Structure 1
Amino acid sequence: MGVVALADVAAGPSMGFLPLMAVGPAFAPLVGGWRRTAYVGGTALLLCLVLGWYDDMTTLRRGSVVVVSVVGVTLAGLVAVAMRRRREAELDSVRSIAEAAQRVLLKPVPKLAGRLRAAVSYTSAVAEARIGGDLYEVVAAPQGVRVIVGDVQGKGLEAVETAALVLGAFREAALDEADLVAVGSRLARSVDRQLDGEKFVTAILAEVSAHQVTFLNFGHPAPMLVRGGGTVDLPEPESYALPLGLSAHGTVDPQPYHAAFLPGDQLLLYTDGIIEARDGGGRFYPLTERAHLLKEDDPESALDTLRQDLLQHVCGPLQDDAAMLLLRYR
């Protein structure tokens, strides 16, 4: 508005810059409330009256039209502010409900589970979302600490719904079943009954007991074991089973396999959003080469360091959800 006023004074009444004064009240609702919009509109109206008198337009129809235009745009801006505030309130309400639902679905894992310390890092590929299609859980059962990390096919609300289904089935089975194979079988039956079409979930189940970890892999990336001496192992089954939800294809059930897990070792379970993250040159994130980043005493700080390194690798937002679950002995 100041530029328009200066241009009008410099050019004189012949150029007719005065109608551009309505641009100020038009943009005011985008950046402020009703007080600011009214203030900008009042300032524009005052400038129009002063410049109209200066240009000797007070008796001309054009001057009246400019004043009416500024008043009309200001009133429209006040209405727009009221509508924007109402929609912002509705959005805040919906967002608070969504965040509450997300906290119920992916509850914070216990920092201490049996003889283990646990930490989780989750980065959703969906802007302003805390969860997506990845899932995790830690359950301290009588047989040992049982965990799951999974990745649902797809994104958005449908993926969140499927993640809720898998987590609910695992939380119940992990406390009821005698061994990890029975947990996996019950989980597979529950998912098969409720998933439709070609939906599926890759998942890895683990049970830690007596310095040993047992795995059950449903088409999921191999876990990473970081030994106390710094060496890295990727325990893999002899043959991979298909993901959960695809048992109709007549595949064999996954077979359990074991690995030593001693004090001083670290077990990292993760989703493919970690190892498939690419940098600008198309290179995948070298997770095993970054195992030394997990050396910090606090497991949550160690995961945060690894997550920051991942974000630096991709130089931007992740294209897929990325979840990591770290287990250590106390």
Structure 2
Amino acid sequence: MTDRKPPSSWTVLSCMPVVVMAVVASVDVVAGPGVGLLPLVSLGPAFSGLVGGWRRTAAFGVVALLLCVALGLYNGLFEQSRGFAAIGSVMGVTGVGIAVAVMRSRREAELASVRSIAEVAQRVLLRPVPLTAGPLQAAVSYTSAVAEARIGGDLYEVVASPHGIRVIVGDVQGKGLAAVETAAVVLGAFREAAHDEPDLVGLGERLERSVARELGGEKFVTAVLAEIGASHQAVFLNYGHPAPMVVRHDGTVDFPQPPAYALPLGLGLHGSEGPKSYRVDFAPGEQLLLYTDGVTEARDEDSRFYPLGERAHLLKASDAHRALDALRADLAQHAGGPPHDDAAMLLIRYHGHEEGKSAPIT
């Protein structure tokens, strides 16, 4: 036996004009003209204007008008002013419903255009990460908290530089288009500095200066930077961001913490000490997951946070993208609905390494 899903609100509203007019006609026939329900026939085109186009609303208006005339003749209401008042009510409500439907269709078209432009802009901003970079394989998952859109303030990038594979995952204060603009500033600065700066700390300092200059202290970005070179180690800088997760050969999980958490990007020039880099063993066969707090702070119906460390076994699939898809599906099941915050995950797998050689990004 298959499960039957409850009808959506759109389906209910679509059927409402027919239901309303049928109920009004039935009650009017049974109860007679004394009840005075005939003007309620106009609710048919009124409900139609909420979900349908102007043609659909006009069609229901014609049906309501014909029904009103038929019931008026049946009840003998045209011998009085009541029948003509009912017809006037149907015509007036139909006209208003048509106007509402036209305005709503225009607003929906404008909104769809804005969403389309925003999504194209973010696809340009958040370019697909390379499938492979040197000995590494990468996969990414992004879910936006903006209803019915794929835009948000989480950011990620993987750059193969002369100094190693450099990665950033960050979370911009706020959501929507304003957060996308801030993410563009961060990613632009990172992509340039990742190639130029020989040291990860220098990269972070340059990124901090660029972000502080562009944002002017009005916004901030939590971020974690990583560099993976030839020494079977990963170097991290943490700007107030959730600690990365490292999955070892034997399935054990580490969440390496920084010596001290620094202020987010955009706030670090306010007299505080910058982040200190720290190294973590990262060998072939191991996995590194960088993520935003939309993952770990997702709550279930009992307000329990998502237990990311306990779900590391979901990353066993041979393909990194399938493994990340399994984790994302489990996260959605845990939350039991749309996310309340943007959620980004970047999975890095270390498949092997040849000393002294570097492979191109593909």
The 5 Å alignment of 1:225-240 reads 225-240=246-261
Deviation of 1:136 (Å):
0.8
Residue in 1 aligned with 2:301?
Answer: 280
1:30-56: CA deviation from partner (whole Å, max 9, x where unpaired): 232233222211111112222111111
Greater shift in the superposed pair: 195-204 or 260-269? 195-204
> Is the aligned partner of 1:327 residue 2:341?
no
TM-score where L is the length of structure 2: 0.86
Matched, 1:120 2:140: yes
Pairing 1:260–2:281 present: yes
Give the letter aligned to residue 36 of structure 2.
G
Aligned partner (choices 40, 43, 47) of residue 27 of structure 1: 47
Partner of 2:9: none
Note if 1:219 corresponds to 2:219.
no
Counterpart code for 2:44: G
* Residues 122 and 131, structure 1, Cα contact 8 Å, conserved in 2: no
Q: Distance in 2 between matches of 1:170 and 1:240?
A: 20
- Take 1:86 and 1:199, find their aligned partners in 2: how far apart are those partners? 34
In the alignment, what sits opposite 1:191?
Answer: 211
- Note if 1:304 corresponds to 2:325: yes
Separation in 1, partners of 2:284, 2:92: 74
Which of residues 105, 110, 131 in structure 2 aligns to 1:85? 105
CA distance in 2, matches of 1:36, 1:253: 62
> For residues 38 and 289 of structure 1, do their structure 2 counterparts lie closer, same or farther at Cα, with a shift above 3 Å needed?
same
Using the TM superposition, give the Cα deviation of residue 325 of structure 1 relative to its aligned residue in structure 2, in angstroms. 0.6
Q: Which moved more, 1:251-260 or 1:216-225?
A: 251-260
- One-letter amino acid of the structure 1 residue matched with residue 315 of structure 2: L
CA drift of 1:198 comes to 5.6
SS in structure 2 of the partner of residue 214 of structure 1:
strand
Is the 2:217–2:267 Cα contact (8 Å) retained in structure 1?
A: no
Aligned length: 330
Q: 1:51 to 1:219 in 2, by over 3 A?
A: closer
- Determine helix, strand or coil for the equivalent of 1:236: coil
Q: Name the CA distance, whole Å, in 2 between partners of 1:224 and 1:157.
A: 29
Q: Equivalent residue for 2:198?
A: 178
CA distance in 1, matches of 2:69, 2:220: 68
Could you say what secondary structure the match of 2:47 adopts?
Answer: helix
1:289 aligns with 2:310: yes
Residues 299 and 306 in structure 2, CA contact (< 8 A), matched pair in contact too:
yes
Point out the more displaced range, 292-301 or 268-277. Answer: 268-277
CA separation in 2, counterparts of 1:292 and 1:315? 21
Q: Which runs of 4+ in 1 moved over 4 A?
A: none
8 Å CA contact 1:132, 1:160 repeated in 2: yes
Say which SS state the counterpart of residue 113 (structure 2) adopts.
helix
Q: Determine which of 328, 331, 334 is the counterpart of 1:313.
A: 334
Distance 1:169 1:197 in 2: 16
Aligned partner of 2:27 in structure 1 is 7
Instruction: List runs of 5+ in structure 2 lacking aligned partners.
Output: 1-20, 352-362
1:245 aligns with 2:270: no
3-state DSSP of counterpart to 2:223: strand
Q: Percent identity?
A: 68
> Structure 1: which 5+ runs fail to align?
none
CA apart distance, 1:232: 1.4
Partner of 1:53: 73
Match of 2:150 in 1: 130
Query: Alpha-carbon deviations, 1:108-161, whole Å to 9, x = none?
Result: 212122221111111222212323222111111122211001122333433322
Q: Which amino acid aligns with 2:288?
A: L
Structure 2 counterpart SS, 1:14: helix
